[in-house]
Amino acid sequence: MVTASELIEQLTPVVNTFSLDLDDVTISKSGNQRVVDVTVDGDSGVNLDEVAAVSRAISEFLDASDVMGEAPYLLEVGTRGVSSPLTKPVHWARNIGRLVNVAGDAINAIGRITEFENPNVTLLVDGKSRVVNINEVSRAHVEVEFKKMPKESNASDSDESDSSAQEID
């Protein structure tokens, strides 16, 4: 039986042809069939038409190869979504300007990502910049905001007294 890491290796070139990244692959069991869940991401996000095109290409690739064997499987292709944790450096880089909830040994705060240079992320917390090594972060996710993002890609130009960024005790 194929492993998720083997599928990642085989499917990455298929996804890359769409100028997207293969973020993750999981294989689980549902009844008598396997569920192959493929997550894609891109620097400018991913729209539904792109997800559909990538899904068709992955399906055609898997059908033309014997990588999945004879057992039935269900292919699901989607995006990371806003609730997905920030686990890879690219996740941090793609979320500059967004408000994040970060927890770890060195920090427990909500702040806005203003800069990222692997492995350090700069967060604006309570009007003050804090540099945190992402390797010391145990949990991080984007906080959903119901307001328009600034058009400027540099979030440090935004209101320095951002009341939505706060220290958590």
Q: pLDDT tens digits, the chain, 169 residues: what are they? A: 899 999 999 999 999 999 999 999 999 999 989 999 999 999 999 999 999 999 999 999 999 999 999 889 999 999 998 889 999 999 999 999 999 999 998 799 999 999 999 999 999 999 999 999 999 999 999 999 987 666 765 544 444 445 455 555 4
> What confidence tens digit (pLDDT) does each residue in 51-70 have?
999 999 999 999 999 999 98
- Residue 104 has a pLDDT of 93
Picking from 39, 54, 79, the residue at the C-terminal end of a domain is 79
- Residue 168 has a pLDDT of 55
The answer as to whether 159 is a domain residue is yes
The answer as to whether 98 is a domain residue is yes
Question: Angle at CA 136, nearest 5°, toward 131 and 138?
Answer: 120
> What confidence tens digit (pLDDT) does each residue in 75-85 have?
999 999 888 99
Q: Counting runs of H as helices and runs of E as strands, what totals does the chain give?
A: 3, 9
pTM attached to this predicted model: 0.80
Supply 151's token pair: 């058009």
Return phi, psi of residue 55, to 5°.
Answer: -60, -45
- C-beta of residue 96 within 8 angstroms of C-beta of residue 137: no
Q: What's the domain range around 136?
A: 89-167
Q: Which helix (H) or strand (E) holds 142?
A: strand 137-142
- Residue 154 has a pLDDT of 53
| Residues 114 and 161 grouped into a single domain | yes
- Residue 165 has a pLDDT of 55
Picking from 61, 79, 97, the residue at the C-terminal end of a domain is 79
Length of the chain: 169
Q: How far is CA 22 from the centre of its chain?
A: 10
| Residues 10 and 67 grouped into a single domain | yes
